Amino acid sequence: MKRSMGYIKAFCVIALVAFLYGFAAERNKGRGIRDIKVHFTDTENLYVTEEVVNKLLIQNNASASSIDKETLDLNKVEDLLNSHEMIENAEVYLTLDGKLRAEVNQRKPIGRVMGNASFYLDKQGELMPLSPFFSARVPMMFGFDGKNVKEAYPVVNYIKNDEFLTSHIVSIQRKPGGHFELELREQDFKVYFGDSTHVATKFNNFKAFYKKAQKDKKLDTYKKVNLQFGDQVVCTKK
């Protein structure tokens, strides 16, 4: 008899816990989202603002408290953020206490095309529109359009990933035949790069030349530096 009573008590406890859990879960579903917070993984430059992301998150500017957690489609909201032209990747989730969170990774420009149509070239080699919120400090690109700009991607991407080159090169110009000419920040000589082959070799040669000429105090004696011949640097004096 005692054993039977023990089973009955245990069953009642389990039933009560299940009821309370179900009640709390059902009540929690009906509540609106208490808070929305956006976190940018890289806050150095904001090409899209938190306000813009918030509007996408709460769908057509509805108030956060009016969004029902049960009807909120996180995948749909995430896809909406990922389709934004300034966002590379976004992850959206709900916390246990009903707060909506978004982790946003922005696209990163590495060059800016100047001309009839102005836009960025991003780190993936794709075209990226200019942002109304921030202007990136990247090399200017002249003589390019949407059809030929990717020709320069190996060159511009290498510059972006090299501290020395980033601090010295301010622009790249496309010449006939798909050859490139670089402009330096502090020197008045032009750097004729040639095409986008053997990029690492050409830039390593250039850096070695620059540092040697700087040490010898001869940088201001040149009017042109030619890197197109692979393993050598050909200089023309003034």
From first to last of its 238 residues, what are the pLDDT tens digits of the chain? 545 554 454 444 454 444 444 434 444 444 555 677 888 887 667 788 888 888 777 654 444 444 555 556 778 888 888 889 999 998 888 887 778 888 899 999 999 999 888 999 999 999 999 999 889 999 999 999 999 999 999 999 999 999 999 999 999 999 988 899 999 998 999 999 999 999 999 999 999 999 999 999 999 999 999 999 878 899 999 8
> What is d(CA 215, CA 98) in angstroms, rounded to the nearest whole number?
62
Q: Are 218 and 212 in contact (CB under 8 A)?
A: no
Q: Where are the domains of the chain?
A: 1-30, 31-106, 109-237
Q: What pTM does this model have? A: 0.77
One-letter amino acid identity for 45? N
Secondary structure element (H or E) that encloses residue 213, with its range: helix 199-215
> What is d(CA 214, CA 196) in angstroms, rounded to the nearest whole number?
26
Residue-level pLDDT at 59: 58
Residue-level pLDDT at 217: 92
Residue-level pLDDT at 232: 86
Residue-level pLDDT at 66: 47
End-to-end alpha carbon distance in the chain: 110
One-letter amino acid identity for 140? M
The Cα-based distances of 198 to 63, 67, 123, 204, 234 in angstroms read 55, 55, 19, 10, 16
Q: What's domain 109-237's architecture?
A: 3-Layer(aba) Sandwich (3.40)
DSSP assignment of 145-164: -TTTGGGGHHHHHHHHT-HH
Say which CATH superfamily domain 31-106 falls into. membrane protein fhac (3.10.20.310)
